[in-house]
């Protein structure tokens, strides 16, 4: 019985495979059983250290995995290598097309803005970094966590000075979709912020998002949680 080595999980990073590395990968895919470093080195005609270098890269990219060979006597079985099943992760991606399809489907349904807001609220609560303490955070801590979340997501947030409760957003990671699906993308973003504040138990929420309130930014407006609009 072969056991997957826990150290060989791989990161799944999609990187091109060319030259000798592709030759080794093809060899492993065509082999009916896992191969050891020495076997591969002899077939390719290179030093075992060179093979180890390429195998490490293939394991890291998620294309190959390390396993222990079937025991053949006392001692720890040697490590061998086999190709991971599945498609080559090095191919092109089209996440923007996927996003356009999903946003278009949301926009075509009933009450698209309301549904987008609810979807955003669910994800905001999932994404925000919640405090370890069960006590509800104060306003400054809540807004700080929201700003960090928005920064992590790529919105380049800046809390406006003066205590007016506004956060400027100088970048939109969904900008290409806003051009065609603003009726769902902006409500989704608003819901995301609202969901984050609700999950925090914050004393404030985001009650309004003004898209392109200024030529180069959007403005999120904070208000006391539960206050009448």
CA-to-CA separations, 184 to 17, 86, 130, in angstroms, rounded: 39, 35, 26
For the cut 80, the answer to whether the pLDDT of residue 46 exceeds it is yes
> Are the CB atoms for 17 and 90 separated by under 8 Å?
yes
What string of DSSP letters covers 174-203? Answer: THHHHHHHHHHHHHHHHHHHHHHHHHHT-S
Structure confidence by residue, pLDDT tens digits, 132-156: 776 767 888 899 999 999 999 999 9
144 sits in which H/E element: helix 139-153
Measured distance CA(197)–CA(131) in Å, rounded: 12
Measured distance CA(149)–CA(173) in Å, rounded: 13
Measured distance CA(49)–CA(179) in Å, rounded: 52
Measured distance CA(191)–CA(197) in Å, rounded: 10
CATH class of 3-83: mainly alpha
- Range(s) for CATH 3.30.1380.20 in the chain? 95-224
- Range(s) for CATH 1.10.10.10 in the chain? 3-83
Lowest mean pLDDT among 12-16, 89-93, 127-131, 165-169: 12-16
Structure confidence by residue, pLDDT tens digits, 72-119: 777 788 899 999 887 766 677 888 999 999 999 999 999 999 999 999
> Are the CB atoms for 184 and 107 separated by under 8 Å?
yes
Measured distance CA(176)–CA(80) in Å, rounded: 46
* pLDDT at residue number 119: 95
The C-alpha R_g of the chain, in whole angstroms, comes to 26
Q: 55 pLDDT band (50/70/90 cuts)? A: very high
Q: What is the pTM of this model?
A: 0.67
CA 205 to chain centre: 26
For the cut 70, the answer to whether the pLDDT of residue 5 exceeds it is no
The topology (CATH level 3) of 95-224 is: Muramoyl-pentapeptide Carboxypeptidase; domain 2 (3.30.1380)
């Amino acid at each position: 019985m072969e056991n997957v080595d826990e150290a060989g999980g791989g990161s799944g990073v999609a990187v091109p495979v060319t030259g000798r590395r592709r030759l080794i990968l093809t060899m492993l895919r065509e082999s009916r059983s896992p191969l050891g470093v020495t076997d591969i080195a002899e077939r390719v005609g290179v030093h075992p250290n060179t093979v180890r270098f390429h195998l490490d890269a293939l394991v890291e990219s998620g294309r190959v995995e390390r396993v222990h060979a079937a025991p053949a006597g006392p001692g720890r079985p040697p490590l061998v290598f086999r190709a991971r099943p599945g498609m080559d992760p090095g191919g092109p991606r089209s996440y923007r097309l996927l996003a356009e399809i999903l946003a278009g489907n949301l926009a075509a349904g009933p009450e698209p803005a309301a549904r987008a807001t609810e979807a955003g609220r669910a994800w905001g609560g999932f994404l925000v970094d919640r405090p370890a303490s069960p006590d509800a955070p104060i306003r400054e801590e809540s807004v700080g966590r929201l700003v960090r979340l928005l920064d992590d997501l790529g919105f380049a947030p800046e809390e406006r000075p003066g205590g007016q409760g506004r956060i400027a957003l100088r970048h939109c990671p969904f900008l290409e979709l806003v051009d065609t699906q603003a009726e769902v993308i902006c409500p989704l973003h608003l819901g995301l912020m609202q969901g984050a504040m609700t999950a925090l138990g914050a004393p404030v929420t985001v009650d309004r998002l003004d898209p392109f309130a200024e030529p180069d930014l959007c403005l999120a407006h904070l208000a006391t949680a539960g206050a009448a609009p």
